[in-house]
Amino acid sequence: MAPTASLAQQAHAPHSGAPLARRAATALAAAMALGAAAAPAAYAAAPAAAAGSASAAAKKLPTGLYGTKDPQYDGVWRQSLALLAQHTVGVRPAASAVRWLVGQQCADGAFTAFRAEPGKPCGAKTMRDTNQTAAAVQALAALGGHGDSVDKAVGWLKSVQNDDGSWSSMPGSPGDANSTSVVIGALAAAGQKPASVTSKKHRTPYDGLLTFRLGCAGKEDAHGAFTFQLKGAAPNADATAAAATGVLGKGFVVAPAGRRDRTPVAPPACKDGKDKAGTVSAAQAADGGAAYLVAQLDKNGQHLLSAMPGAKPQPDVGNTADAVVALAAGGHGAEARRPLAWLQKNAAGWARQSGPAAYAQLVLAAHATGSDPRSFGGTDLVTALNATGPEPAAVPGKHAQAAAKDDDGGGMPWWIIGVGLAFGAGLGFLLSGRKRGGH
C-alpha cells in the first residue's frame, strides 16, 4: 500500500508511483503498529512496538489531529474520514479538527498526506496526492462553510485528470480504479456532475473507471471484477469494491439501503468472452462488481481476504467494510447485511488497533445498511471514534456540548511510539502484497 520516495503514496500517502486501494491508509496505520512481527494489518492483533527502537522517540502531534500514530503517510486521509463519519451520524467535530484539515491544503488546492509546517508554502517537490485531496473534499463539502477550499481542491483534481479520464494517486502516473473512484466521489460531493468532467481527450471519469473492468475477460469466477491497474489486470476485490461504488457516482457516504434489495446479484451475461449486452451501463458494471464481491464473500465466510508474502491469507476487515458499502450502494441490502454481521462480530479489535479511519469505515458501513453504529456488535463506534480526536463540539443526546466549543488538544495525549520498525517489517510486506493485487 518500492522505492523510498514512492512508498507512502502507494498507501494513499503523498509519495506514490503505484497507489493502492481506497482504504490503504487504514491498513498502513495498522501496519505501523505491527513492529517486527509483521502480522497482517487487516486482522491480527498488534504487538507492542519494540522498545529502544531508533524511531521510538516520542513527539507531540499537532493540535486537532485524530489518531496517535505518525500522520506522515495518512494524516489528511484519516482526518477526512473521521470528520465525515462524525458528520454523517450527527456529531459536530471540534473546530480545531476542522482547522487542522483546512490548514493542510496547498495554495493550488491540492492536499498531501501531512504538512508538518502548514505555514510554509508547498513547493514544486511537495508530493501532492489525489486520494488525500479527494477525501478532504468529501469531508469539507459535507461539513459546509468551506466552499473556497472545496472549489480549489476540485479545480486541482480536474487539472491532473489523465487523458483516458482516470486518476492516479500521484499526478502523471498511470491511473487506477481506486484513485479514480475516490475522485468521482469527491466531484459528486462538491456538487459536480462527474460525467461532465472531461479530459483533454474528452474522456469522462466513468470512461476511465470502466477501463479497469474485467467484465467477461479471463476466468469465469473473475467476471465482473475490476482490476487495480491495467498493468497485470488481475481481479482485485479492493478495487472492485471501490469501483462498484464509484461507477454509480457515489462517494464514502452512501444513503442507507435499509432492507431494500433492488435485484439479486449475478455475474455479467457473457458470450465468447464478451458481454452479451455490448456496451455496459454503469448499473450493469456495478452489478457485475457486486456479484464478484458476493462470490468472494461467500467463499471466505462473509469476509474478504488479504494475503502478504509468506503469510497465510487473513480476513481483510477494511476491505470487507468497503464491500458492504458497495453492495448497499447498488441496492443489494440483503447481500450487504451478511458481511455486516461478520463485521459486527469481528471488527472491534481491528478498529482499536488501526485507529480513526478504521472506526470511520465501520461507521459508514453501518450507515449504508441502515444499522446503528452506536450498537455495533456491542461496540459504540461513534463514541470510540470521538475518543480518537479532540472532544466534539456537539454530540446528539448530550447536554453540555456548546455549539462553539473547541478544545486545543483535548482527547487523549498525542504521542508516536515505534514507527520506524513497523515500516521496515510490517509495512513493507503489506505494500508488496497489495501491489501485486489478488483477491
Among the ranges given (172-186, 313-327, 416-430), the one the predictor scored with the smallest mean pLDDT: 416-430
**pLDDT-above-70 percentage for the chain:** 74
Assign 260 a pLDDT band (cuts: 50, 70, 90): low
pLDDT tens-digit readout, 33-59: 333 223 333 333 333 333 333 333 346
Distance of alpha carbon 186 from alpha carbon 390, whole angstroms: 25
C-alpha gyration radius of the chain = 20
Distance of alpha carbon 430 from alpha carbon 113, whole angstroms: 19
Nearest Cα neighbor of 5 from 130, 172, 122, 125 is 125
Name the E strands within 148-288: 270-271, 274-275
> Residues 277, 280, 281, CA angle at the centre, nearest 5°?
125
pLDDT tens-digit readout, 176-201: 999 999 999 999 999 999 999 999 99
Nearest Cα neighbor of 285 from 344, 234, 226, 335 is 226
pLDDT tens-digit readout, 346-397: 999 999 999 999 999 999 999 999 999 999 999 999 999 999 999 999 999 7
Assign 274 a pLDDT band (cuts: 50, 70, 90): confident
Distance of alpha carbon 77 from alpha carbon 134, whole angstroms: 9
pLDDT tens-digit readout, 92-150: 999 999 999 999 999 999 999 999 999 999 999 999 999 999 999 999 999 999 999 99
Helix, strand, coil percentages (3-state) for the chain, rounded to 5, are 45, 5, 50
Q: What one-letter code names the amino acid at 55?
A: S
Assign 257 a pLDDT band (cuts: 50, 70, 90): low
For cell 504487538, the residue is: 47
At residue 92, the 3 state secondary structure works out as strand
φ, ψ dihedrals at 324, nearest 5°: -60, -45
Q: Across the chain, how many H-helices and E-strands are there?
A: 16, 4
Quick one: cell of 63?
493540535
Q: What one-letter code names the amino acid at 287?
A: D
